[in-house]
Amino acid sequence: MTIRVALIGAGVMGADHARTLTSQVPGAELRIICDADAERAAVLAAELEVQSVSADPQAAIADKAIDAVIVAAPDAMHKELIFAALAAAKPILCEKPMAPTPQDCVDIIAAEVKRGEQLIQIGYNRRFDPAYWEMRDTWKAAGLGEAIMFHGFHRNVSAPPWFDSNMAVTNSAVHDFDIARWLLETEIVSVHAFRPAMFANGGIGSPVFLVCQAASGQLVNIEVSNNAAYGYDVRGDLVCRNGTVSLRPPVNSELCTNLQNSISYPADWRPRFVNAYRLQLQGWIRSIHKGKPEGASAWDGYAASACAAAGLKSLASGQAEKVELIAKPSLYGK
Whole-angstrom distance, CA of residue 91 vs CA of residue 81 = 12
> Tell me, what amino acid is at 273?
F
Nearer to ligand ISE, 20 or 171 (CB): 171
Nearer to ligand ISE, 63 or 95 (CB): 95
- Does position 171 bind ligand ISE by CB under 6 A? yes
C-alpha angle 97/100/103, rounded to 5°?
Answer: 115
For residues 156 and 168, the answer to whether their CB atoms sit within 8 Å is: no
Q: How far apart are CA 171 and CA 49, in angstroms?
A: 31
- Measured at the alpha carbon of residue 198, what is the angle toward residues 306 and 100, in degrees to the nearest 5? 20
Rank residues 11 and 22 by Cβ distance to ligand ISE and give the closer one. Answer: 11
Q: Which 196-235 residues touch ligand ISE, going by CB under 6 A?
A: none
Q: Does 305 bind ligand ISE (CB under 6 A)?
A: no
Stretch that binds ligand ISE, among 75-83, 167-175, 245-253, 255-263 (CB under 6 A): 167-175
Minimal distance in Å, beta carbon 171 to ligand ISE? 5
In the set 20, 156, 170, 314, which binds ligand ISE (CB under 6 A)? Answer: 156
Length of the chain: 334
Give the DSSP H/E element, type plus range, for residue 78.
helix 78-87
* Site residue total, ligand ISE (CB under 6 A): 5
Q: Are 237 and 176 in contact (CB under 8 A)?
A: no
Verify cis geometry, omega within 30 degrees of 0, for the bond prior to 161.
no
By CB under 6 A, name the one of 128, 177, 269, 302 that touches ligand ISE.
269
Q: For ligand ISE, which is the closer residue by CB, 139 or 269?
A: 269
At closest approach, how far in Å is the CB of 267 from ligand ISE? 12
Q: Which CB sits closer to ligand ISE, 74 or 318?
A: 74
**Where do contacts with ligand ISE occur on this chain (CB under 6 A)?**
156, 171-172, 175, 269
